[in-house]
Chain A
Amino acid sequence: MMSARLALAALLVAGLGASSARADAPPEKAALCAACHGEKGVPIDTSIPVIWGQNEGYIYIQLRDFSRGARQNEQMAAIVAQLSRDEMKALAAYFSTLQWPNLLQKSAPDDVVRRAETVAASAQCPQCHQGGYIGASVQPRLADQSETYLLATMRAFRSGARANNDWMTALLKTYSDDDLKVLAAYLAGL
C-alpha cells in the first residue's frame, strides 16, 4: 500500500532525479539482447521472435518462465541466468515501449486468410489475443510476428516442448499441421 501523496512524492523524486536519462536510457542488460533480437528490433534470424513493442506483462512472464525452465531454450536460458527479477521487469518495461519493427512480411493470400479466419473463429483466438492480434498484458501480440517463429512455437506448444501454457497446448492439439501453417502465414501477414 502506498498513499497517493507518497506515490506522487516518489514519482516526483524519481522524475527530478533522472528525468531525461530515465526516459531514454535502456536498462544496462538490454545491450545483450540486440545480438539476437536485433539492433533496430529486427531479429537477426527468422527463428528469433520480435520483442520490440511486445506487451510488457508477456515479455516479463516469458523471461520468468525461461528462468524457471517452464519454457526451454538454450540461448535464452543462458541469458536469463544473468537476470534478477527486477532486471526482467525493467527489460520488459523498456522493450514494450519500443516500436514494433517492420519485418517486410507479405500479407497472406485470400484463400489462406479465409481459412485462417475460420480456424481462428472456432477457437476464439481474438478473445485473448484481442482484435487485430495485438494482445494485451500477458497475452502476446501475434500480428506481424515472424512467420517462421510463429509456426515453430505453435508446433512446440502442440508437442508439449513449449510447456509454459497448458491451455495453448490443449488448444493447438486440436489442429492439424496445415492449420498451424495457415495461421502462421495469416498472423505474420497482418
Chain B
Amino acid sequence: MPPILKATSVLAAVAALSWGLAGQAAAEEVAQATLYGDMSAVTQTMLDHAGHDGNNFLMTNGNYSQTRFYPNRQINTMNVKHLHPAWIFQTEVKDTMETTPLVVNGVMYVTTAFDHVYALNARTGEELWHYKHKLGPISIYCCGPNNRGVAAYEDMVYLATLDSKLVALNAKTGKVAWQSDIADPELGYSETMAPTAVNGKILVGTNGGEYGIRGFVKAFDAATGKLLWTFNTTPENSVGVWATKDASGQDLHRDIAAEKAALAKGGDPYKTLGGGVWQNPAVDLKANRIYFVVGNPSPDLDGSNRPGDNLYTDSLVSVDLDTGKYACHFQYVPHDVWDVDSVSPAVLVDALDNDGKLVPAVLHGGKTGFVYVNDRRDCHLIRVSEAMVPQENMYALPTHGVGTRMLPGANGGVEWSPMTVDPALSLAYAINLHQPMHYSVKEAAYPAGKLWLGGAFSVIPTEQQWGNVTAVDYNTGRIRWQVKTAQPMIGGIMATAGGLVFTGEGNGLFKAYDSQTGSQLWQFQAGAGVNAPPAAYSVDGKEYIVVGAGGNAQLDYKRGNAIISFTLN
C-alpha cells in the first residue's frame, strides 16, 4: 500500500469516529471515545490494534511492535510550527523523568522518580488521582530513581517499583488492588521499566546488572499477581561458543586460554552474571513470542572471573509468550567488558533480507552505535547498519590505572532511549550519545548486592561531547539523515503519520523534525531536560503531543517536574 494512502485512511477513520461521536454525545462521553473496546477499560483487542489507534497511547512504546509510530496526522509538517502548550502539569517530584505518558479514553497516566503515579485529564491536565508508592527500607539502583511508566490492562494500571515490587492499581481510583514481590532488593534487584500487558499477563524484567544479579523476565497473572513463569537471562551453561568477534565482525581481543583456565577453576558464572532486562519486550502476536534485549554481564568491566561468552548478556532473546520457553537468541557483543550492552527496546518490522525478500525482522539500536537487523524467526543477523557515532579503538581492553580510551563511551551510541520507526519510509530513528571515555579495570570479588563495576568508565573531561538524531534505512543499513545536537542524547523519540519525529534534549529543547529529511520544523524550550520519550493522543478530535521535562540523573541534566501537552490552536 502506498504510504500516503495508508496514513490518510487511518486519519479518516480516526476523524470520522471522533467527530461522529462528538455530534451525538455529551462532551464527557466524547472524552471516553475510543476505536475499540467498551470505552471504560483497556481490552486486549484495543491493545492488539494500538498501532492504528489515533485516540489513545496504550503502551510505553506505542504498540506491541514498539514502533512508537503514531498514526494521526492532524499535526504535520505543514502546521507543526503552530504547536504550543495546551497545558502543563507539575508533579510533586522534581527529579529525573523517563516516563512515557499513557492515554486511555481521555485519561493520562504518568509516573515520576521514586514511583509516584498520576492520573490526569488528558484534555486539561487536571489531576484525577495520585498514588505514592511507599518504598521499602532497601532500594538499590545505579543510575537514578527512575521510572518509565505504567502498563494499562482491563481496569487496572501496573507499576514496577525501585524496591522490586509489582503493584496493580485500580485505574479509576489509584487504589492498590494487589502487590507482588518481583525479586529481593537486597541483592541489587530493582525496577524502573514500565511493565508490558498482554493476554492476561504482566511482563517485567529487572535492573541490577551493576550488582551481580541473575537477570530475568517474569510473567505475572494480571488479575491476581501470581507468578506464571520466569525466564532466566543467564542459562546454567552461559559459556557459548568462545566467539572472538562481535556482530559486526570486529575483534574482541579475548584471551580465550585464560578464560578457559578461569572456567576450569571457578565454574560457570551464571548465578551472578547480571543480564538485566529493563526495557519492554516487543510482542509478536502471530508467532506468540516476545523479543527483548539483555543487558551487560556483571561485573561490567572485569571479565576475569566470568569466563565464556556470558550468554545471554548483550543479546537479543526470543521466548514463548505463554511459557517463557527459549525460542532463539543472537549475541551482539560476546564477553562484553565495556558495558556497551543492549538496552534500547527491540522493534518489530518487516524488512528485506539479503536476498531482497521481505521477512519478519527485529531491530535494536546498540550502545555500539549500530542498528542491528535480525530475522525474527531464528534470530540470525541480517545486517548491521553504518555506525551512527564515531567508533575508535573499538574493543581495546580496559587497563589498570587511567584506562583505555575507546569510542563510543559506555552510555552509547544508543542508551536505553527507545527508537521509533516510520514503516512507510522503512526508516528507524535513534538518538545517540558521543561521550569519549576511559575504560579501566580493577578486579573485585562479588560484593553481595553492592555496586560491582570491576573498574570504571570515566568521561574524558577535555574532550567534546555531543549527540545526534539519526535516521537509518533498515532495508540497507545506510544512514538516510543525521542531525547533530549540542549534548549527548537520552530519552526517546516518536514518529507520526504527520511526517514528523519528536525528541527532546538535556538543555530543555523539545524539537520536531521532518521525518524524511531531518530538517528541524519546530522547537520549544521546556525549562528542564526533556529526557523522556514523547507520546501522542487525540481527544474530541484534537491531536496532542505530550512529553515529560524532568531532566536526567545519569547525565545530570537539569531536573524539573513538568508534563507538557502540546496542541494546535
Q: Which residues of A contact B (CB under 8 A)?
A: 1-4, 7, 55-57, 60-61, 68, 70, 89, 92-93, 96, 124, 127, 137-138, 164-167, 170
Contacts and interface: CB of A to CB of B under 8 A. Distances in A.
Contacts of A93: 137
A137 to B, nearest CB: 5
A179 B556 CA distance: 24
Contacts of A55: 137
Given A1-B180, A166-B444, A170-B456, A124 B138 contact: no
B140 A138 contact: yes
Contacts of A57: 137-139
A91 to B, nearest CB: 12
B450 A137 contact: no
Given A138-B140, A164-B447, 9 more contacts: A1-B179, A1-B225, A1-B226, A1-B227, A3-B225, A60-B138, A61-B138, A137-B135, A137-B138
B553 interface: yes
A165 B451 contact: yes
Instruction: Kindly state the interface size class of chain B when it binds its partner.
Output: 20 to 34
Given A165-B451, A166-B447, A166-B451, A137 B140 contact: yes
A1 B177 CA distance: 12
Nearest to A93: B137
Nearest to A165: B450
Contact of B556 (A7, A60, A124, A166): A124
A150 B225 CA distance: 44
Nearest to B166: A1
Contacts of A4: 176-179
A7 B181 CA distance: 13
B448 interface: yes
A1 B226 CA distance: 7
Nearest to B137: A56
Contacts of A56: 137
12 contacts: A1-B225, A1-B227, A3-B178, A57-B137, A57-B139, A68-B448, A70-B447, A89-B137, A137-B137, A164-B447, A165-B450, A166-B442
B448 A137 contact: no
A11 B564 CA distance: 39
Contacts of B138: 57, 60-61, 137-138
B224 interface: yes
B188 to A, nearest CB: 10
A164 B448 CA distance: 10
A124 B444 CA distance: 23
Given A137-B140, A138-B140, A167 B451 contact: yes
B204 to A, nearest CB: 13
B453 interface: yes
Interface in B175-209: 176-181, 186
B137 A7 contact: no
A56 B186 CA distance: 12
Contacts of B139: 57, 137-138
B405 to A, nearest CB: 19
- Most chain-A Cβ atoms within 10 A of its Cβ — which of B137, B177, B180, B444? B137
Nearest to B452: A166
B92 to A, nearest CB: 16
Contact of A60 (B137, B176, B451): B137
Contacts of A70: 447-448
A93 B186 CA distance: 15
A89 B176 CA distance: 25
A119 B444 CA distance: 26
Contacts of B224: 3
Nearest to B143: A127
